Chain A
Amino acid sequence: MRHLLSIADLSRSDVERLMERADSFAEVSRRDIKKVPTLRGRTIVSLFYESSTRTSASFELAAKRLSADLVSVKAAGSAVDKGESLKDTIATLSSFGPEAIVIRAPHAGAAKLVAGWTDAAVINAGDGKHEHPSQALLDVYTLRSRLGELDGKRIWIVGDVLHSRVARSSAMAFRLMGAHVTLCGPPTLIPRDAAAALDCDVTYDIAGLGEADIVYTLRMQNERMAESFVPSLREYAIRYGINVRRLGPRQLLMHPGPVNRGVELSGEVLDGPNSLVTEQVKNGLFVRMAVLYELLAGGDRTKAGRLDPDAELPAPTPIGEPA
C-alpha cells in the first residue's frame, strides 16, 4: 500500500493484514506504556479543511503513540483562509519532507489529487461525500472483534446515504469482507442507482430491519430539511429512527458519530448494551495506528532514500522494554 485513498483500492487480504496489525496495537494499548518508537523521527502532517473531532483526534493520537513528529494544520487560521490553493498548500507542507499527509477536505477526490502532488503517503480522512476509508476499516475491525468473520452477516445501513462518505466506504468494506449490505432510508436520500454502484440491496421500508445482524445508522443533518430531502426531522425519526422497539436484542448497533440523539437513534439504544458506538471510537485509534504503520513502515514501502524496502521491521515494542 502506497496511500489510503479509497476502499476500492484495497483487497480483502490488505484489510485482513491491517486488522491483524490493529490487533497488535490494541494489545500495546493495554500496557502501562502505550507508546512505541516505530515512527520515531518521521513526520506526519494532519491537514483538516473541515471540522472534525474524532477523526483528527484519533489520527493525531495514533501518530503520537507511534512516536512520529506531528504537524497539525486546520484550515481556519492557516494560509488556506488567505486563499491559498490546495496545490500550493501541499507544496508548502511537502517542503517539510513529511512521510505522510492525513487530509480531510470538502471535495471528492481531494486526497487523490494530493497524492499526485507529494512524495508523502496520503491518507484520505474524508473527501467530500465520497469516502472515509479509515472509518470503514475501524467499522470492520469493530465488527470482527465482536463477531469474527463478516461473511454472510447482514448489515443494514440506515439513513442519509446520499450525503454520507461513511456509507459509501463502509458499504464497500463490508461487501469486501463478505457481508450482505442493505441500504435503507427515504427515497430522496438514497442515490439513484446506488444498488448497482455499491452492489447492495436498497429499500425504503424499515419493516424488514429484523433480518439485520448489524444496524448501522447514519447522521441525519439539520440542513437537509431546508433542501426538501425530508419534510421534517419528526417524520424522519418516526419512519427511520432506531429505538428499543425497532432494535432486537441480538442486533448490534453502530453509528459513525456525531449522533443526533432522538433523531436517528434514541438515547436508550445509543447507551444500551447493543451499542458499539464507543467501541468504534476506541478501535479507531488502533486501526489508524495500523494504517500509519502499514504506509510508513510496511514491507512494500519503496520510497527511495527514506526506508529500506527490504528491511523487515520488528513488531512494535513499547518504549522502555528491550526491543
Chain B
Amino acid sequence: MSRVISTLDWRGAGAPGQAIVLRAARVLDPRAGIDAAHDVVIRDGRIAELATSGSAEPVNAEVIDADGLVAVPAFFDPHVHLRTPGREDKEDIETGSRAAAAGGYCGIIGMANTVPPVETPAAIESLRERAQVDATVPVGFVATVTRGMRGEELTDMAELADAGAVGFSDDGVPVQNARVMRRALQYQALAGLQIALHEEDPHLSGSGVMHEGQISALLGMTGIPSVSESTMIARDCALAAYENARIHVQHLSARESVEVIAAAKAAGVQVTCEATPHHLALTEEEVRSLDSRFKMNPPLRSEDDRQALIEAVRSGLIDTIATDHAPHTLEDKEVPFEEAAMGVTGLETAFSVLNTDLVVPGVLDLAIVVERLSAGAAAFGFELPSLAPDSEANVALINLDAEWQAGSDGWESRSENSCFAGRQLTGRSMLTIVAGQVAFRQRSFAMGVA
C-alpha cells in the first residue's frame, strides 16, 4: 500500500488546493506514457483533466501560460540532509524544503545524521511538528538504524515507525557490523519500513578523502577504493536475500557497485538504489583543482565509473536519482581539501545539471531523467507522482531553454557549497505545484490570472 506524498508533513497539508490551468504545456509523464500538448487542469489538489491544448475554459482559476514549457511529474528526493536538529547554521527544514521546491521537488526525505541523531519517537514527532509549520514541500524523516549511529544496538524501530518515521538509515556511516545489519533486516518484518544504506567498508576507506586512482596518486591524497563501496553492497544484498528483507542502497559511485546491484537484482534480491547528479556529471578530474567543493562521500570517481552509472540510469538498474543534498558552512569548506567537510548541496541544480550535461548532449533522454528524478518515492512506499487524470497534482513546470548561472541569484538553501556554482546551466524548473498548491515559482516567472 502506498501513501500519497501530500500525507507527509508540510505547511500545505490539508489545504484545499488552488484551481490552476497550465495552458498549452508539453505534458511529459513517461510512466503514464504521456508526451503531448495539453491544458493541464488542476482542481481540488488533483489533475482534473488533460484537455486539448488551448481548449480549457477556466473558471476562477489561475491560468499559467505554459506554451513552450514542459509539465512533468514533480521530483522526489529520498536523500536530503536538513541538518535539523543541531546544525541549523547549515540548513533547516524551512530553507531545505524551499531549496527542494525551487528545484522542482514535491517531496523529500531527511536523513537522521543530525546532532544528536534522530533515534527516538520524540525526535521524530518534534521534527514532524516543525515540518508542519516550516516545510514548503512534504518532508519525511528517517530514523537511525542503530543508536548513536554506532552500529551496535538497534533503535526502537517499531516505535519509530509508529511515531511516523518513513524509514531507517545511518547515512553518513555504514552499519559496519554484519550481525547488527542482519538483525535490522530481520526486524524490518516487524517495523515494516525501508532501510537505506550508506555502503562503505571503513577499513578500506581508512582516512581516504577522494577516489583512489590516477588523480589521488598525483595529488598524494589517500584514496577511497571503489571496492570499499561494492564489497559492502554485496554483503548487504546477501543478507537481504537471506532474510527476505528489502534495502535501498544510497549514492552508488562505482562500476563495481553497479555490477553487484545487477547481480543482486537478477537473483531477485529486493534492492533499489540511487545515484546523484554529481556522480553522473563529474569525475575525479575535478579534484585536480584541490577545490573542496568537489569533496563528498562517496567521492567523484573515474570516467569509466561515471559511464557505468549513466548506463545503469538509462537501463533502470539504478532506480532513482537522489541528490544527497549536504549543506555545509563556508568555514567547513574554506580549508585544505583533506580537512574539508564531505558533501555538496544539490536540490536546486539537480534537474538543470542533468539536462545540461546529459540530456542536451544526447546522452540520456529527457524522459528517462524526468522518470528517475521522481522514482525514489516508490522505494519508500509513496505513490509515484503522475500527471494522469485523477492523480494528486504534483507538477514541475520546466523551461528547457532557460539559461542561467548556478548561484548567481543566490540560493534558497542556507549553504552554498554547490559543486556547480558558477556553471552556466540550461533548463530550469520555473514552477512547482504540490497537491494543487503552488509551492514555488521563480521570481522571473510571471503568471496571468483569468
Interface of A toward B, CB cutoff 8 Å: 85-87, 105, 107-110, 112-113, 127-131, 163-165, 168, 191-194, 196-198
Contact = CB atoms under 8 A, between A and B. Distances in A.
- Identify which of B212, B215, B219 gathers the most chain A CB atoms within 10 Å of its CB: B219
Contacts of B336: 86, 105, 107-110, 113, 127-128
Given A109-B290, A168-B218, A198-B217, A192 B338 contact: no
Contacts of A113: 290, 334-336
A86 B333 CA distance: 12
Contact of A108 (B214, B217, B331, B338): B338
Contacts of A130: 219-221
Interface of B: 212-221, 223, 225, 290, 331, 334-339
Contacts of A165: 220
A88 B144 CA distance: 37
Given A86-B335, A128-B338, A193 B290 contact: no
A165 B338 CA distance: 15
B2 to A, nearest CB: 44
Contact of B220 (A112, A129, A192, A193): A129
Nearest to A164: B220
B217 A191 contact: yes
Closest 8 CB pairs of A and B: A109-B290, A129-B220, A107-B336, A191-B217, A197-B217, A193-B214, A197-B218, A130-B220
Contacts of A168: 218, 220
- Identify which of B218, B223, B339 gathers the most chain A CB atoms within 10 Å of its CB: B218
A37 B213 CA distance: 47
6 contacts: A108-B336, A109-B338, A113-B336, A128-B221, A130-B220, A198-B217
A192 B213 contact: yes
Contacts of A127: 336
A197 B337 CA distance: 19
A192 B214 CA distance: 7
B290 to A, nearest CB: 3
B342 to A, nearest CB: 15
B214 A107 contact: no
B232 to A, nearest CB: 19
Given A86-B336, A87-B334, A112 B223 contact: no
Contacts of B331: 85
A198 B331 CA distance: 33
B215 A197 contact: yes
Contacts of A85: 331, 334-335
B180 to A, nearest CB: 26
Contacts of B219: 108-109, 130
B217 A193 contact: yes
A112 B290 contact: yes
Given A130-B221, A197-B217, 10 more contacts: A105-B336, A108-B338, A109-B290, A113-B290, A128-B336, A128-B338, A131-B220, A192-B225, A193-B217, A198-B217
A192 B284 CA distance: 14
Given A85-B331, A87-B334, A112-B290, A107 B220 contact: no
B333 to A, nearest CB: 11
Contacts of A164: 220
Given A108-B336, A109-B337, A192 B212 contact: yes
A192 B218 contact: no
A168 B336 CA distance: 19
B335 A198 contact: no
A108 B219 CA distance: 7
A249 to B, nearest CB: 34
Given A112-B290, A192-B223, A107 B218 contact: no
Given A85-B331, A108-B290, A130-B221, A191 B338 contact: no
A274 to B, nearest CB: 29
A191 B208 CA distance: 13
Nearest to B210: A108
A109 B215 CA distance: 13
A168 B214 CA distance: 12
A116 to B, nearest CB: 10
Nearest to B331: A85
A90 B442 CA distance: 40
Contacts of A163: 220
Contacts of B223: 191-192
Contacts of A192: 212-213, 216-217, 223, 225
Contact of A107 (B213, B217, B338): B338
